[in-house]
Amino acid sequence: MSLNIALHAGLSGVLTHQKQVEVTGNNIANVNTPGYSRQTLSVSPGKALNINGLLLGQGVDAETVNREYDKFVSGQLVEQGDMLGHEEAKSSPLAEIERIMGIGEDSLASEIEGFFGAWHDLSANPGGSVERDQVIYKGENLLNSFSQLESGLVDVRRNINDSLNAEVNGINLKLQKVAELNASIKDKQSLGHVANRDLDERDVVIKELSEILGMQTFETGQGQVGLQLPGGVPLVQGNRAMEFEGYYEGGNLQVQIRSGDVVLETDRTNFGGKFRGLMELRDQFIPELEQDLDDLRHGIVTNVNAQHEAGYDLDGNTGRSFFTRPASAQSETGFADPVALALDTGDIEINGSTITIDAQNNSLYGIRDAINDSDAGVIASVVHDGTDHHLDLTPKTRGADVESDFSQISDFIDEDTDGDFFDAAGSEQISVAIDSTDQVAAAGFPEGAPGDNVNAMAIHELNSSKLINGDQTFVDAYGRIAATVGTETRRNTMAREGAADTMDQLENLRESMVGVSLEQEMINLTLFQRGFEASSRFVQTIDEMMGTLIGLKR
Amino acid sequence: MKSTLAMNYRMLSSNLERSSNRLYDLRQQAATGKQMNRPSDNPSGIRPVLDYRVKTQAAERSLNQMSMAQGEMEVLDSSLDQVENILVAAKETGIAAISGAANEADRQTYADKIGQLREELLQAANTQNGGKYMYAGYSESTVPFRTVDDGTEDWDVEYDGDGHAKTVDIGTGNQVQVALPGNELFLGDYDNDGITDADGENLFAALKDFEAAIRNNDKAAMNNGLETLEESADQVRRLRGRMGNNAWRIERASEQLNGAAIEFEKILSSYEDADALEVFSQLVQQETAFEAALNVTTRISKLSILDFMR
């Protein structure tokens, strides 16, 4: 009987080597499949039979096809995917913002310089209609440049919303896929199979999800994996996946996560990866830039207006704004003579600052200058409504409140009015308010003589005064904005390159542990082929031996 | 641990990508000649670059304005020369009239001559330069001196200009006067209240009085008049000297600003401009590295275990 047993042993060798060759062939076929883990056939010696006191091995048993797997590296890949997705998502919007916030010869800084340069030129020839025209034209140019920057940033935000929106469907498919794979792996394992393909595929999907959303994984038994956002919101549990829903609120795409009837609102802090990166730009970085630009424009508009209102045009008119006025507080009481030292003396309080008016400065102009010398956070100017002069207080920050107490200066209290300052509605869209060259207030003396350049000089000098936050000129302020963009872009480039490097190294590490090496497989192929050949030869030998035995009978 | 083909190709492709990005940057620097093309190229350099660019542009404008002002002051100086000459001529005429050799007919001729000089002075006072009245203060489109008929054949003048003098900015905050208002020069009325100041001379009045003195052969008045004329000429010379001094200040400021503008350009260039030599040598270096990386790529693809298993 032992020859029969030997024949079986030979057969197991032939079959096992054939399986080995098949597994090797499969490895070679998948050499370029992303996420593929090299598979090996685990084999063990066949059970030994006790034959007449001799323990004889019964060939070889092929047990299971295993995949090589390193849990640590796989976990690292998911984590690094979060980082890489985060920085990569930021890079193209930042490149666009960088293009908008240029520093070349045609940047906003040059437009600011051009506008104040026009006032400088006007001061050389204050009566010239060409120079006056240039001031208006350059003012319009300056405002246009601001609008262009703003609409550029709005475009970037819209593109970010579009790319977020485009991801939502893909995310749902991927979450669904993970849930399905979880179910399939559980089924296969319960039947005693190893679901190598499903495991590999799930790893790939989770890594992709991590780049988009940032992902935390945890094993829940029976080969299943749970997924949750970095903030702890569960996305996949067993074979159930939550659903992402995008909706627009205030022009921005927001995401809510739905599981049956339970709906969870999210913001950028819930996410990692691409979503976090894009939402940080959209909700934090870009709004800050917009605010800074807005503050800069507000600073230019209010300071130029205040100085322009103090000057005289060619017809001797004063109190005219150069740009349309932002929201401000204006005195209800008007005064015919802004120079007369005829008002009450006493203390004025504005935004908590006390300004003392004495017999030296108890005129409308005196009060204006005293307020401007204080740190009340407003720019005071005297505007002319056609008949009377009114005191105007424009907050240095657009839209800020102006709390004022003029109770000690009784002149501001009129029988017809409640004595208070009223909120003058400002114009949302800032434009150049004057429409003829004669209205440019270049003169500093009431005659408005054509050769009077005093106010043009004063407006030109605003450009070299530190009027933004008290420590920056207008051009400085733009430089600071551009530097913020430059620094962030630079940081992003370095972080992105670093993350990509780390990712490459991790991929290589994974590859070196579980990847397919053609050399290794080819050598194994030869090995298994020889094993197959030897096993076949063994079967042939046994066959010959059996033939010899049968021949004995003849 | 093993090294697989995929690892090698991944390594190669990321190196090639990095190398070609660096090449792109260097080529851009070489093509534009600038090392700051985007804010991220040198964030800390943005403020100085913008600052010096603005300073350079402002300096150019200031230089233009100063050279215009210098031109105006030359015109002003020749006009002042003319005014001074009128006064000198009047004085000479006066000396001739005062001398004993002059008879009544001569004196009338001399008096007529003074009258003509006064007409000349009026013309000089209403001189225009580039369509603007030079001695009208800010009111450059107003004829500054208007004759007033006082009932006699002679006229008086009244000043319609204002007391302001045009200035030019010769550097932040420093203003230099480049024009003379007519009330100072011709009327000696520094506060422009319509009355000649105690230490000033009214040139028109001086000539008018002197003409009358000659006509009336009033020796004492003629002597007085000569003195007044001398003081008037002094007034012109003093103001002319002041304007000459101002012209010198503008000249100096202009030289300084020119030097500063060159300095600004240098600083700007040190931030902004690429060092051509360095960029090209780096470019060559990077191209060599890129070529080497490409070479390795082809070598890897040539080497295969399959070639050795036959």
Q: Is A397 helix (H, G, I), strand (E, B) or coil?
A: coil
CB contact under 8 A, A482 and B39: yes
Which residue shows structure tokens 């045609």? A106
Residues A455-489 as b or e (16 or more Cβ within 10 Å = b): bbbbbbbbbbeebbeeebbbbbbbbbbbbbbbebb
Average pLDDT rounded to a whole number, residues A368-373: 88
The reported pLDDT for the residue numbered B147 is 87
Token duo for residue B212: 């009358």
In this structure, are residues A393 and A378 in contact, taking their beta carbons and an 8 Å threshold? yes
The reported pLDDT for the residue numbered A554 is 67
CB contact under 8 A, A504 and B139: no
CB contact under 8 A, B4 and A511: yes
CB contact under 8 A, B61 and A107: no
Q: Is A70 helix (H, G, I), strand (E, B) or coil?
A: coil
Element (H, E) at A348: strand A346-350
Of B40, B137, B306, the CB nearest to A490: B40
Which residues pair with residue A312 across a beta bridge? A318, A443
CB contact under 8 A, B305 and A513: no
The reported pLDDT for the residue numbered A414 is 58
The reported pLDDT for the residue numbered B131 is 87
CB contact under 8 A, A447 and B138: yes
Of residues A510, A341, A135, A535, the one with CA closest to residue B10: A510
CB contact under 8 A, A508 and B7: yes
| Percent of chain A topping pLDDT 90 | 56
The reported pLDDT for the residue numbered A303 is 93
Residue B145: CB partners within 8 Å, gap ≥ 6?
Answer: B122, B125, B126, B135, B157, B158, B159, B160, B182, B186, B204
Asked whether the predicted pLDDT for residue A1 surpasses 60, the reply is no
CB contact under 8 A, B53 and A110: yes
Of residues A347, A298, A331, A346, the one with CA closest to residue A421: A331
Residue B62: CB partners within 8 Å, gap ≥ 6?
Answer: A120, B169, B170, B171, B257
In this structure, are residues A171 and A213 in contact, taking their beta carbons and an 8 Å threshold? yes
Asked whether the predicted pLDDT for residue A423 surpasses 80, the reply is no
Residue A234's alpha-carbon distances to A182, A210, A225, B293, in angstroms, are: 15, 14, 12, 45
Query: According to DSSP H, which parts of A129-285 are helical?
Result: 129-190, 196-213, 273-280
Of B3, B6, B68, the CB nearest to A124: B68
A to B CB pairs, distance under 8 Å: 165
Residue A326's alpha-carbon distances to A320, A398, A425, A431, in angstroms, are: 14, 7, 8, 10
Burial of A190 (0-12, 13-18, 19+ CB in 10 A): exposed
Q: If pLDDT is split at 50, 70 and 90, which confidence band does A379 have?
A: confident
Average pLDDT rounded to a whole number, residues A71-78: 90
pLDDT in tens, A387-416: 888 888 888 887 777 888 887 887 776 555
Amino acid at B28: Q
pLDDT in tens, A294-335: 999 999 999 999 999 999 999 888 988 999 888 888 887 788
Burial of A405 (0-12, 13-18, 19+ CB in 10 A): middle
Measured between CA atoms, the residue of chain A closest to residue B39 is A486
Residue A174: CB partners within 8 Å, gap ≥ 6?
Answer: A205, A208, A209
For chain B, positions 136-195, list CB contacts with chain A under 8 A.
136-142, 162, 164, 166-169, 172-173, 175
- Chain B CB contacts of A105 under 8 Å are 53
Of B10, B37, B162, the CB nearest to A449: B162
Of the spans A279-283, A317-321, A328-332, A349-353, which averages the highest pLDDT? A279-283
| Percent of chain A topping pLDDT 70 | 97
Of A31-45, A236-250, B172-186, the range with the lowest mean pLDDT is: B172-186
Burial of A324 (0-12, 13-18, 19+ CB in 10 A): middle
- Chain B CB contacts of A443 under 8 Å are 138
Candidates B18, B53, B54, partner chain A, best to mutate (most A CBs within 10 A): B54
- Give how far A512 is from chain B: nearest CA, Å: 5
CA atoms of B271 and B115, how far apart (whole Å): 67
Burial of A36 (0-12, 13-18, 19+ CB in 10 A): buried
The reported pLDDT for the residue numbered A325 is 84
Mean pLDDT by 10 residues, chain B (310 residues): 85 89 91 89 90 90 92 94 94 87 86 91 91 90 86 79 88 83 90 86 90 88 90 93 94 92 92 90 93 89 81
In this structure, are residues B170 and B62 in contact, taking their beta carbons and an 8 Å threshold? yes
Candidates A103, A116, A460, partner chain B, best to mutate (most B CBs within 10 A): A103
Task: Name the DSSP letter for residue A517.
Answer: P
- The more confident residue out of A444 and A57 is A444
The reported pLDDT for the residue numbered B151 is 63
CB contact under 8 A, B4 and A445: no
The reported pLDDT for the residue numbered B175 is 86
| Residue B310 touches chain A, beta carbons under 8 Å | no
Of residues B207, B200, B246, B260, the one with CA closest to residue B63: B260
- Look over chain A and give the mean of its residue pLDDT values, rounded to a whole number: 89
- Give how far A102 is from chain B: nearest CA, Å: 7
Q: If pLDDT is split at 50, 70 and 90, which confidence band does A112 have?
A: very high
Measured between CA atoms, the residue of chain B closest to residue A474 is B51
Which residue shows structure tokens 């819209």? A158
CA atoms of A206 and A228, how far apart (whole Å): 11
The reported pLDDT for the residue numbered B261 is 92
**pTM of structure:** 0.85
The reported pLDDT for the residue numbered A373 is 86
The reported pLDDT for the residue numbered A25 is 94
The reported pLDDT for the residue numbered A232 is 86
Amino acid at B175: Q
Phi, psi of B89 (to 5 degrees): -60, -40
Asked whether the predicted pLDDT for residue A159 surpasses 90, the reply is yes
User: How do beta strands B145-149 and B155-159 pair?
Assistant: antiparallel
Element (H, E) at A507: helix A474-514
In this structure, are residues A456 and A119 in contact, taking their beta carbons and an 8 Å threshold? yes
Phi, psi of A349 (to 5 degrees): -120, 125
Token duo for residue A370: 């005293």
Residue A184: CB partners within 8 Å, gap ≥ 6?
Answer: A195, A198
Average pLDDT rounded to a whole number, residues A428-451: 88
Average pLDDT rounded to a whole number, residues A13-41: 93
- What secondary structure, in 3-state letters, does chain B show? CCCCHHHHHHHHHHHHHHHHHHHHHHHHHHHHCECCCCHHHCHHHHHHHHHHHHHHHHHHHHHHHHHHHHHHHHHHHHHHHHHHHHHHHHHHHHHHHHCCCCCHHHHHHHHHHHHHHHHHHHHHHCCEECCEECCCCCCCCCCCEEEEECCCCCEEEEECCCCCCCEEECCCCCEEECCCCHHHHCCCCCCCCCCCCCCCCCHHHHHHHHHHHHHHCCHHHHHHHHHHHHHHHHHHHHHHHHHHHHHHHHHHHHHHHHHHHHHHHHHHHHHHECCHHHHHHHHHHHHHHHHHHHHHHHHHHHCCHHHHCC
Burial of A388 (0-12, 13-18, 19+ CB in 10 A): middle
| Residue B44 touches chain A, beta carbons under 8 Å | yes
Instruction: Give the torsion through C-alpha atoms of A348, A354, A357, A361, to 10 deg.
Output: -110
CA atoms of A450 and A438, how far apart (whole Å): 10
Asked whether the predicted pLDDT for residue A147 surpasses 90, the reply is yes
The reported pLDDT for the residue numbered B153 is 64
Residue B130's alpha-carbon distances to A125, A133, A136, B172, in angstroms, are: 11, 20, 24, 27
The reported pLDDT for the residue numbered A42 is 92
